[in-house]
């Protein structure tokens, strides 16, 4: 290996260790940290992130990249070429942001998260509004940094979208979303007008300890390896990768909402399968992660919806669930359960939304964060704007901010802009993925009905997981499906399922 390339890999491996250290601090903050630990935790995270940022943008890194990039492509392995491409991208983007600014922003995020947790519980948007206003200010500053020099973005949200979903823009997503919306709105109206299935059993009392017993059993039977991970409770479920042998998931349990824990666990397991399936040779490198927010969400949504809400899935798992909660489910048939968890009805909470209305929730958030960055919407006016959009788009109006603009953590632990589009990208690509898997292995549904996920796991690992970040999103989509990202397979899936 050329010395410049070898030195680059060593530097980025050290950066990877620092980033994973930050992930440990984040995980603990969201699961087990005492309430009064926020202040010191914010300083710790900011300090480590600042060190990592400074190391990434050192002039020596730029010099090594210039030398390594000049090596003949034919002398480099495919993995090395992918490494250099991603390293150049990370260096170029990081070089736009001053380390002190990044540390300051991250410290602010930590403080905002703590305020949000309490504001959500107390239904008190006013408590967090000043923090959100400051987050918008920081997020605009990031956009301005990327608009300096030769780079000029069309919309202030573009740099944020590019960070999460490379190759996507505000304008392109608006076009994609408009095409999807045209089909979804009449479909929601038609399905909502049908006679609704019974769902009373979903809000019966299910004790939290009994739920956690079942959820851990469920994750294990789906294929989640508890020797390489664990599941904990949190306010807003997430997955985090601390290493190849340590990929953790979290869930949220409500004693009178059975679906919350069930589908959170399946969703986060899908994220974990992706990270656990990356080729071992990429461990400790910048290639050893899922490639984008949208591709990552495609895997969690594939497992949550195309698998986890299917009749085949519950043919196997419902008898186990019914036995575990015999008192609550003894009078509920498999058919009633399956129809109940797939009811289409406009609702307030994104994470609990059905497959048909879900993307409308995402589009509302996408539009609102664009307006926040543009300055046409003030942070203090977010609750009213949110409630008006829900009433106009979904025909429901939140009775509280906890059911409204406080429900998602994203703007209260992260930037504003580029935070939500990945969910709809993921929904669309999940259908394209599953179509390709079924084309290769038509027997997958029958195997699922027996609780056998081995064929699906193997296909996903071979075609998606193992690549990590070696392929950019559009390359992966085209390689897998022969097409670009499209809403057509997703809409066809909904048509088959709900016809």
Mark whether 60 and 207 lie in a shared domain.
no
Q: What is the CATH number of the domain that holds 401?
A: 1.10.1370.30
Residue 250, H or E segment: strand 246-251
Mark whether 95 and 206 lie in a shared domain.
no
Quote the tokens at residue 303: 């497992």
Quote the tokens at residue 132: 């959100």
Mark whether 201 and 272 lie in a shared domain.
yes
Mark whether 372 and 295 lie in a shared domain.
yes
Mark whether 392 and 335 lie in a shared domain.
yes
Between helix 454-463 and helix 421-440 the angle, nearest 10°, is 110
Residue 493, H or E segment: helix 488-498
Residue 151, pLDDT score: 62
Beta strand spans in 188-245 (E): 231-233, 239-243
Mark whether 115 and 181 lie in a shared domain.
no
Residue 147, pLDDT score: 86
**160 in any annotated domain:** no
Among the three residues 63, 97, 124, which one is the final residue of a domain in this structure?
124
**272 in any annotated domain:** yes
Mind giving me the DSSP string for 351-366? Answer: GG--TTTHHHHHHHHH
**69 in any annotated domain:** yes
Among the three residues 124, 149, 180, which one is the final residue of a domain in this structure?
124
Spans of the chain below 50 pLDDT:
none
Considering 49, 162, 268, 369, which one is annotated as catalytic? 268
**137 in any annotated domain:** no
Among the three residues 90, 124, 158, which one is the final residue of a domain in this structure?
124
Residues of the binding site:
267, 271, 297
Mark whether 270 and 375 lie in a shared domain.
yes
Mark whether 363 and 259 lie in a shared domain.
yes
SS3 track for 116-145: HHHHHHHCCHHHHHHHHHHHHHHHHHHHHH
Cα gap 102→91, rounded to integer Å = 15
Mark whether 113 and 179 lie in a shared domain.
no
| 268: annotated active-site residue | yes
Q: How many domains does the chain have?
A: 2
Mark whether 316 and 178 lie in a shared domain.
yes
Mark whether 109 and 222 lie in a shared domain.
no
Residue 153, pLDDT score: 77
- Burial (CB < 10 A; 0-12, 13-18, 19+), residue 75, is exposed
> Are 364 and 223 contacting, i.e. CB atoms less than 8 angstroms apart?
no
Quote the tokens at residue 481: 């499906």
**68 in any annotated domain:** yes
- Burial (CB < 10 A; 0-12, 13-18, 19+), residue 199, is middle
For 166-185, b/e burial (b = at least 16 CB within 10 A) is bebbbeebbebbeebeeebe
**163 in any annotated domain:** no
Residues of the binding site for Zn(2+):
267, 271, 297
Residue 21, pLDDT score: 96
Residue-number span of the structural domain to which 32 is assigned: 3-124
**372 in any annotated domain:** yes
Q: Which tens digit of pLDDT belongs to each residue from 191-206?
A: 989 999 999 999 999 9
Mark whether 50 and 178 lie in a shared domain.
no
**153 in any annotated domain:** no
Residue 150, pLDDT score: 61
């Amino acid at each position: 290996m050329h010395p410049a390339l070898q030195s680059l890999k060593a530097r980025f491996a050290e950066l990877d260790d620092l980033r994973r250290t930050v992930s440990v601090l984040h995980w603990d903050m969201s699961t087990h940290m005492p309430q009064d630990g926020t202040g010191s935790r914010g300083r710790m995270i900011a300090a480590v992130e600042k060190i990592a940022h400074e190391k990434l943008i050192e002039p020596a890194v730029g010099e090594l990249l210039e030398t390594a990039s000049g090596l003949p492509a034919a002398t480099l392995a495919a993995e090395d070429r992918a490494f250099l491409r991603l390293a150049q991208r990370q260096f170029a983007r990081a070089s736009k942001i001053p380390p002190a600014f990044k540390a300051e922003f991250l410290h602010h995020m930590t403080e905002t998260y703590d305020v949000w947790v309490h504001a959500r519980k107390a239904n008190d948007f006013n408590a967090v509004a000043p923090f959100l206003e400051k987050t918008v200010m920081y997020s605009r500053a990031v956009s301005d940094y990327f608009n300096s020099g030769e780079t000029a973005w069309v919309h202030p949200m573009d740099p944020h979208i590019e960070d999460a979903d490379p190759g996507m823009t505000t304008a392109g997503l608006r076009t994609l979303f408009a095409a999807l919306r045209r089909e979804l709105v009449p479909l929601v109206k038609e399905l909502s007008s049908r006679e609704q299935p019974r769902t009373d059993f979903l809000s019966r009392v299910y004790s939290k300890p009994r739920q956690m017993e079942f959820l851990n059993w469920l994750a294990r039977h789906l294929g989640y390896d508890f020797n390489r991970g664990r599941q904990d409770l949190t306010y807003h479920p997430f997955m985090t990768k601390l290493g190849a042998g340590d990929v953790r998931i979290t869930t949220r349990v409500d004693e009178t909402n059975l679906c919350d824990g069930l589908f959170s666990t399946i969703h986060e397991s899908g994220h974990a399968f992706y990270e656990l399936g990356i080729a071992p040779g990429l461990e400790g490198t910048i290639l050893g992660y899922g490639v984008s927010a949208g591709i990552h969400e495609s895997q969690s949504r594939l497992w949550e919806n195309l698998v986890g809400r299917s009749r085949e899935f519950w043919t196997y798992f419902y008898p186990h669930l019914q036995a575990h909660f015999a008192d609550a489910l003894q009078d509920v048939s498999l058919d009633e359960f399956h129809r109940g968890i797939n009811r289409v009805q406009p609702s307030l909470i994104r994470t609990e939304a059905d497959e048909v209305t879900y993307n409308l929730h995402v589009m509302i958030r996408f539009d609102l964060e664009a307006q926040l960055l543009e300055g046409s919407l003030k942070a203090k006016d977010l609750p009213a704007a949110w409630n008006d959009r829900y009433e106009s788009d979904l025909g429901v109006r939140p009775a509280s901010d906890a059911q409204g603009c406080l429900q998602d953590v994203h703007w209260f632990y992260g930037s504003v802009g580029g935070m939500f589009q990945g969910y709809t990208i993921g929904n669309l690509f999940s259908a394209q993925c599953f179509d390709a898997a079924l084309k290769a292995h038509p027997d997958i549904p029958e195997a699922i009905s027996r609780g056998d996920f081995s064929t699906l796991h193997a296909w996903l690992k071979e075609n998606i997981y193992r690549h990590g970040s070696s392929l950019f999103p559009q390359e992966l989509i085209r390689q897998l499906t022969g097409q670009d990202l499209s809403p057509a397979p997703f809409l066809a899936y909904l048509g088959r399922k709900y016809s």
